[in-house]
Amino acid sequence: MELWIILSITAAAFQTLRFMLQKHLSMGTLSAGGATLARFFYAVPFVVPLALGVSLLGSGWPALTPMFWVYAVIGGLLQIMATWCVVALFSERNFAVGITFKKTEVVQTAIVGFVILGDRISAPGWAAILLGLVGVLVLSDTPGLAGRWWQRLGSRATVLGIASGACFAISAVGYRGATLQVASDDAVLRALVTLCVVTVMQTAALSLWLHWREPKELARVLAARRQAVWMGLVGMAGSLCWFTAFTLQNAALVFAVGQVEVIFSILAAVLVFGERITAREGVAIGLITLSVIAIVMFR
């Protein structure tokens, strides 16, 4: 199995764990903005020493082109917006619908990647991506929610989900573009340098924003450090896997394999929260599994 596939699956597992931790923090401890900041703020103490250490053990800090900064800033800002949208989803009754529409990020990433970077996907690759999309959309008609399915398309959760997917798509393409602008043949170093720069910028920008809009929230972020530090560590590990995969493969295919996050989320609901897998969820798991297998074999 190729390295980018292993990294994509590992990143999805870390992301599932991070969203579980982030949901816990956002339910009363921190606001949506505070929970978003905590995800970046507590990653800085891990990613900066790691990036500096790896670069010093190698050939030193690599050169960064002007386009690196363009891609990095766009990717970083859009990731903040995407994360904020996802955290805001946690307060919605139809959370599952919003998260499902977030997963349209795969198709959106393919389109954005083609427009911005010229990344192309084969016909079998597109078929596999669409199969996975069908799998996640099977979950969108969540039982127990009021109104017809077309009426739910205009719900706040759906809007937040689609918006987060669009932001994640642009962010992923921006990060792939940034990693390709780092002057190094080492995929891990390129990913680490990009992740380090972006995380520091995100922490600074979001801290200034919250100081202006929610000045008391910064103190709450610091007070939540015993819980939030784990989210920072898990978030950094997941982002490093995503970024390294982006240096090796088209971002849309990376995200397509990363749709196993849906399976991980369902398993977490069963194993951690004692919920049962419904027939609908079983069908979705099957479709997403077939999609990932098809991408690996026929992309």
Confidence of residue 208 (pLDDT cuts 50, 70, 90): very high
Mean pLDDT is lowest, of 71-80, 142-151, 187-196, 254-263, for: 142-151
- Mean predicted confidence (pLDDT) in 44-54: 94
Model pTM greater than 0.85?
no
Residue 99: count other Cβ atoms within 10 Å of its Cβ.
Answer: 25
- Mean predicted confidence (pLDDT) in 60-73: 95
Average pLDDT over all residues of the chain: 83
The residue extents of the domains of the chain are 3-298
Whether residue 61 is predicted with pLDDT greater than 70 in this model: the reply is: yes
Whether residue 93 is predicted with pLDDT greater than 70 in this model: the reply is: no
Whether residue 10 is predicted with pLDDT greater than 70 in this model: the reply is: yes
Whether residue 141 is predicted with pLDDT greater than 60 in this model: the reply is: no
Mean pLDDT is lowest, of 113-117, 148-152, 154-158, 222-226, for: 148-152
The whole-number pLDDT of residue 139 equals: 62
The whole-number pLDDT of residue 258 equals: 86
Assigned token pair, 176? 């792939």
As a whole-number percent, the residues of the chain with pLDDT over 70 amount to 84
Whether residue 26 is predicted with pLDDT greater than 70 in this model: the reply is: no
The whole-number pLDDT of residue 152 equals: 53
The whole-number pLDDT of residue 275 equals: 66
Confirm if 35 and 22 have CB atoms less than 8 A apart.
yes
E-strand ranges in 111-251 read none
Mean pLDDT is lowest, of 29-33, 115-119, 145-149, for: 145-149
- Mean predicted confidence (pLDDT) in 26-53: 86
Burial, 15: exposed, middle or buried (Cβ in 10 Å; 0-12, 13-18, 19+)?
buried
Q: What is the pLDDT of residues 281-292, one digit of tens each?
A: 777 777 777 887
Whether residue 212 is predicted with pLDDT greater than 80 in this model: the reply is: yes
Residue 290, φ and ψ in degrees, nearest 5: -60, -40
d(C-alpha 241, C-alpha 273), whole Å: 27
Find the distance separating the first CA and the last CA of the chain, reported in whole Å: 13
d(C-alpha 193, C-alpha 27), whole Å: 33
Whether residue 73 is predicted with pLDDT greater than 60 in this model: the reply is: yes
Assigned token pair, 25? 């923090």
- Mean predicted confidence (pLDDT) in 236-241: 93
Confirm if 283 and 127 have CB atoms less than 8 A apart.
no
Q: What is the pLDDT of residues 165-190, one digit of tens each?
A: 889 899 999 999 999 999 999 999 99
- Mean predicted confidence (pLDDT) in 34-54: 91
d(C-alpha 60, C-alpha 63), whole Å: 9
The whole-number pLDDT of residue 182 equals: 95
Long-range contacts of residues 20-28, Cβ cutoff 8 Å, at least 24 apart = 20/268, 20/272, 21/227, 21/230, 21/231, 21/234, 22/86, 22/87, 22/90, 22/231, 23/90, 24/227, 25/224, 25/227, 25/228, 25/231, 26/87, 26/90, 26/91, 27/90
